[in-house]
Amino acid sequence: MKTLGLGTLETLIAPIAQAVEDQRVDALGEALATLCSRGVITPQMFLPPRADRYARNLLWRCPRSTFIVVAMTWAPGQGSPLHDHAGLWGAEIVIDGEMHETVFDFAGKGADGRFRFERGMHRRSRRGTLGLISPPKEYHNFGNAGSDVAHSLHVYSGELSTAHTYSEDADGWWTARQVGLRYDAQ
């Protein structure tokens, strides 16, 4: 975990913890938007970009395991494939740079274990743009759409150590693969 001053950490975590305790994804979004607009989320919270994939810095793991806060760094062109959030709810906010996101709606599971998704909203986002995750609305892809490094802050309602990524087959069905998620610093 990257070292932050105690005051900075308390200022960041207190409003997030309250929203998670209240189990309100909208309040979590409001807390992240306020923290972003007030400059509480600082460059020191983010790792340098990696060449092979986006970087994940675990800023906070609640001692009661009720939430985590992860700072992500995205080099130009880096992104995640369509993925789920393992049934967790949460919020993501763009801190700087330009990101793209496509939301997908779950449309069914076939007898062969493959999945159907319907493409939903696609958007390009800049500083302060918020995304809420609330199952079953938890499927999307997310990546850097700009020519500069981008940063985003993610809060999830539990430990997100595994998730599923989905690859689209030629017939329009999607194949799932469980992946382990790791942090580059914690």
| pLDDT surpassing 60 at residue 109 | yes
- The band of 6, judged by pLDDT with boundaries at 50, 70 and 90, is very low
- The answer to whether domain 6-180 has CATH 2.60.120.10 is yes
Helix (H) or strand (E) holding 17: helix 6-21
| pLDDT surpassing 60 at residue 1 | no
Query: For the chain, what is the total number of helices (H) and then of strands (E)?
Result: 2, 11
Q: How many CB atoms lie within 10 A of CB 96?
A: 18
pTM across the whole model: 0.93
Mean pLDDT of the chain: 93
Structure tokens at 14: 């207190």
Compute the distance between CA of residue 17 and CA of residue 20 in angstroms, rounded to an integer.
5
Closest residue by Cα to residue 76 from 54, 43, 58: 54
